Amino acid sequence: MLIKFLNNIRIIKKQDKNNEPYFIIFDNEHDKEDNNAYFCFEQAIRTGWNELKSKWSQITEIEFEYEETDRGKKVVAILSSNTQNFWIDEFVK
């Protein structure tokens, strides 16, 4: 798995064919490149989904773990954002 920290992002909320929400995180620093999108699906994210779902429009910086697949970059865990530090919350539980 790879870890990425982005502090110049835009997040777009979309719906799949089953009307389930998913999110795309775009790295604005590399906006001209084709590979600047990171996809977030509920079934793929181990931590941070609820925070992403409820505060996606407020998030301006984010750190996450992702994997590269033949279909793109898929986020598997959100570690922290400007609205929450998920990995600390996991240790406090």
- As a whole number of angstroms, the distance between CA 65 and CA 10 comes to 17
Q: What is the mean pLDDT of the chain?
A: 86
Note the pLDDT tens digit of each residue in 33-76. Answer: 556 899 999 999 998 999 899 999 999 999 999 999 998 899 99
Q: What are phi and psi of 91, to 5 degrees?
A: -75, -25
Confidence category of residue 86, pLDDT binned at 50, 70, 90:
low
Q: What is the pTM of this model?
A: 0.84
Neighbour-count burial of 68, counting CB atoms closer than 10 A to its CB (0-12 exposed, 13-18 middle, 19+ buried):
exposed
